[in-house]
Structure 1
Amino acid sequence: MTQTKTYTKYVSQNILGQLGVSCYILADTFFISQAAGADGITVLNLCLPLYNLIFAVGSMLGLGSATRFAILRSQGDGRAHRYFFNALVWAVLLGLPFMAAGLLGPGTLLRWMGGDPQIVALGLGYTQIFLLFAPFFMINYIVQAFVRNDGEPALAMAATLSGSLFNIVFDYIFMFPMGLGLPGAALATAASPIVSVLICSRHFFKKESGLRLEPRLPSARLLAQSCQLGVTGFVGEISSGVTTTVFNFLLLGLAGNLGVAAYGVVANFALVATAIFNGAAQGAQPLISDCYGRRDIAGARHLLRLGLATALVLAGLLYGAVFFFAEPMAALFNSEGSAQLAEYAARGLRIYFVGYLLAGVNITAAGYLSAIDRPAGAFVLSICRGAVAIVGCAVLLSALFEMDGIWCSFGAAELLTGLLTLYFLRREKKTA
């Protein structure tokens, strides 16, 4: 199979898997909007930063450890499998604080995120349940990353899609026929990674599997080596949480809960878009890491060019869809028929999604630098686009242009990051 065909196979399957995850988030939002209206969407949007933090830790452990595994395996290192069990142990340990927060202080967390008494009361059960299942979300990231990097991207995709389908079906069952409301939505979401891990587990019984569970005490050294390469995944996820938190507080000041609900609509569709580009970058990662481990620099750069071309094509298609269908997209989550919510969300979608014309390129470049063991450059790109630039742009532009300024800040941040992307890719080409 040629390199281009292999790339197409890995990337398409991983994009489908990531789309499955983002689609269940959309379904979650849709059902919640039907059950609790704009307040329900506000609860979900206030909880998104907590989800992002959990996913960030899982992504860092999974992507980083699996990348290190792929590089060492391609070099013939028989100890590569140690990163798998180590990542699982650390997922459990790092999940404990989230579980403690779920038991002891979910209401406090919601208040810290800007919720008023009505929103806190509505979201208490929802927040508590998903925090208690935090380790399972992290373990799911790890298992899928290793299965994909061990040569079975199709199984990882099938597991993701199955978990997402389970979530969508049981969202409806728990929320409506069983009458559990928002806690039912959280329960369906919390159970979906368990389904995904169970499906992925069949990989471990195959003779060709390079993974095995070898119990060892948790190693901080292996964790640090993994985190170096997983930092782009961490920053990519945590940045969404930082951005959502900042946007929420700015929008509460400008338009109250309705502004936050409008951003909830935009943010959920943005999660789908980001998932597509992350899927493309993560799908190419094991192939790039394999080339790097074998010192095939030309092959790695060919994969980078394919990734950049893919990102540009996908960005054009996404923006076309959003531009022409912004009103129907906003209407999906406007069960109360609020004209103001519809106007805020549709305008926000059209302005915000311009940023993806550059975001795909920046995500692809950061993933490439991580895959070839250049964690410093990957970190700078990720932290710039995900936190520093977008927070600065949001605060400045919202002061100048109010809500339009908030929607524009994403594109402005991606433009600034794009300049850094050019610098790091040129430097890497000169030093290779």
Structure 2
Amino acid sequence: MEIKLSDHFTCKRLLLFAAPTIGTVVIAITYDVIDGYFVSNFIGKTAFAAVNVIYPFQLMLSVVGYMFGTGGSALIAAQQGKGDEEGANRFFTMIVKFALMTGAVMALLGCLFLPEIGALIGATPEIMEYGLPYGRTLFLFLPVMIVGYAFQSLLITAERPQFGLYLSVANMLSNIIFDYLFIVVLEGGMVGAAIATGIGACLNGLVPMCYFARPNSSSLRFVSCGMEIKPLLGACYNGLSEMVEDMSTSLIFVFYNYQLLRLAGENGVAAFGVVIFVEGFFTAVFCGLALQANSIVGYHFGAANFTELKSLLKKGIMLNLGFGLLMFVLARFSASVIAGLYVGYDAEVCAMAEEALQIYALAFILQGFNIYASAYFTGLNNGKISALIAFARTFLVQTAAIFLLPMLLGTAGLWLAQATAELVSALLAAALLYACRREYCGEG
């Protein structure tokens, strides 16, 4: 069944349209899950801790792609809603070009400042012995990785979300094959793990670029154009919330690692590694629903279809709250199995990881609602409110919780920090949705 951005969306239709994107995000998360499994079981827990130290910094740079993708998608979809196909293609081309150039700059910065970043967060020399070759090798692939992140949203706007799913499946399979080859067979260590991840990332970026450079059946294509500063800045500003959210998440990981190194040492960082891999995998549904909301809401906002905008908000909230409860139950009851899979060779780390995941699971209940509310405002081209929700959720409240709750509850306070942030942010998001209702109700 072909689904268009201009369609009326029921809950079923939203899920069907979001399914390829959800699958894409789920599979994208497995890249890190697979890397973590091979590194932990075939190189060791110190190497696993190193991945968890380097991963936030690498993510902090690569999430620029989400800014281009989500902000650009809303801008492009609005042009499509107005019937300006030429303008949509021009903006699409500029965004991809600029994402690639930005990635090259970010890669250089990453390679130069990685040792200083590791020292700043208190990583031990033993951890950085594994972390430096892993990070520097991975940064060589960063330009294409950033473009790949951007295409996660842009493919939805092009009405080809299934394309992203196919690429993610190919990426996952290549990651498994090359992780096994470079880590187990060739004993390439951390460099091998980074190369395996980088090869897969090339599929997500290079294949779509080749597709849109040729005549195709999608609603978008590359065209000859220069760089227009105003629409590029508009896309960056509008997608700022998604970049703020993911970059804040990266900084939060750094704060977690800093506190864990202080309170629980290397074992605490390894246990947290299990939590963040599972958190990413379990929240893929929320991210998938949010990514498709950018394009759908952006299209109907451009078309001034306020009836559909109200319907999308109501149905999106219902779906995300329902999935949030499901994710909470799954995380609670699967904690022991997941901990054993990653760090079962170390009883102390395994017990810590199981406890952490069971407490952290509370965050999943409201997480989807907050992510969707932020994405909804991005679709309305209101990057300011979207960024406010994202910043409060992923950085402001959670940072305070990370440093204050352990004073009262010890290490357990760290595992409650995310749930605390989700609760406070849900109250803020609900208030802002009510206060800004004229934007999607068409009143006044």
Relative to the length of structure 2, the TM-score reads 0.92
Q: CA RMSD in A?
A: 1.8
Q: How much does 1:275 deviate?
A: 2.6
CA–CA separation in structure 2 for the residues paired with 1:232 and 1:328 = 35
Q: Secondary structure at the match of 1:3?
A: coil
Task: Give the residue type in structure 2 aligned to 1:313.
Answer: G
Matches within 5 A, 1:260-271: 260-271=269-280
Matches within 5 A, 1:225-244: 225-244=234-253
Task: Give the residue type in structure 2 aligned to 1:14.
Answer: T
Select which of 18, 34, 37 maps to 1:30: 37
5+ unaligned residues in a row in structure 1: which ranges?
A: none
Select which of 177, 185, 193 maps to 1:185: 193
CA–CA separation in structure 2 for the residues paired with 1:52 and 1:320 = 28
Measured against aligned partners, the alpha-carbon deviations of 1:1-45 in whole angstroms (never above 9, x if no partner) come to 652243222211111110000112111100010122211221111
Q: Secondary structure at the match of 2:186?
A: coil
Partner residue in 2 for 1:395: 403
Matches within 5 A, 1:29-428: 29-77=36-84, 78-200=86-208, 201-202=210-211, 204-335=213-344, 337-428=345-436
Partner residue in 1 for 2:13: 6
CA–CA separation in structure 2 for the residues paired with 1:262 and 1:14 = 29
Q: How much does 1:283 deviate?
A: 2.0
Q: Secondary structure at the match of 1:195?
A: helix
Q: How much does 1:219 deviate?
A: 3.3
Residues 66 and 83 in structure 1, CA contact (< 8 A), matched pair in contact too: no
Q: May I ask how many residue pairs the two structures share in their alignment?
A: 431
CA–CA separation in structure 2 for the residues paired with 1:105 and 1:290 = 40
Residues 100 and 143 in structure 2, CA contact (< 8 A), matched pair in contact too: yes
Q: How much does 1:430 deviate?
A: 4.2
More displaced stretch, 134-143 vs 245-254: 134-143
CA–CA separation in structure 2 for the residues paired with 1:153 and 1:351 = 34
Residues 66 and 142 in structure 1, CA contact (< 8 A), matched pair in contact too: no
Task: Give the residue type in structure 1 aligned to 2:154.
Answer: F
CA–CA separation in structure 1 for the residues paired with 2:100 and 2:120 = 25
CA–CA separation in structure 2 for the residues paired with 1:394 and 1:374 = 29
Residues 398 and 417 in structure 2, CA contact (< 8 A), matched pair in contact too: yes
Q: How much does 1:102 deviate?
A: 4.9
Instruction: Flag the 1:32–1:207 CA change in 2: closer, same or farther, 3 A.
Output: closer
Residues 212 and 221 in structure 2, CA contact (< 8 A), matched pair in contact too: no
CA–CA separation in structure 2 for the residues paired with 1:331 and 1:121 = 26
Measured against aligned partners, the alpha-carbon deviations of 1:38-80 in whole angstroms (never above 9, x if no partner) come to 1122111101211221232010011111221011111012312
Q: How much does 1:393 deviate?
A: 1.2
Q: Secondary structure at the match of 1:179?
A: coil
- Runs of at least 4 residues off by over 4 Å: none
Measured against aligned partners, the alpha-carbon deviations of 1:143-168 in whole angstroms (never above 9, x if no partner) come to 33222211111112211222222122
5+ unaligned residues in a row in structure 2: which ranges?
A: none
Residues 162 and 196 in structure 1, CA contact (< 8 A), matched pair in contact too: no
Instruction: Flag the 1:407–1:215 CA change in 2: closer, same or farther, 3 A.
Output: same
Residues 98 and 132 in structure 1, CA contact (< 8 A), matched pair in contact too: no
Residues 49 and 242 in structure 1, CA contact (< 8 A), matched pair in contact too: yes
More displaced stretch, 124-133 vs 158-167: 158-167
Residues 153 and 292 in structure 2, CA contact (< 8 A), matched pair in contact too: no
Q: How much does 1:261 deviate?
A: 0.9
Instruction: Flag the 1:310–1:241 CA change in 2: closer, same or farther, 3 A.
Output: same
Q: How much does 1:334 deviate?
A: 0.8
Measured against aligned partners, the alpha-carbon deviations of 1:409-428 in whole angstroms (never above 9, x if no partner) come to 11111111111111111112
Relative to the length of structure 1, the TM-score reads 0.95
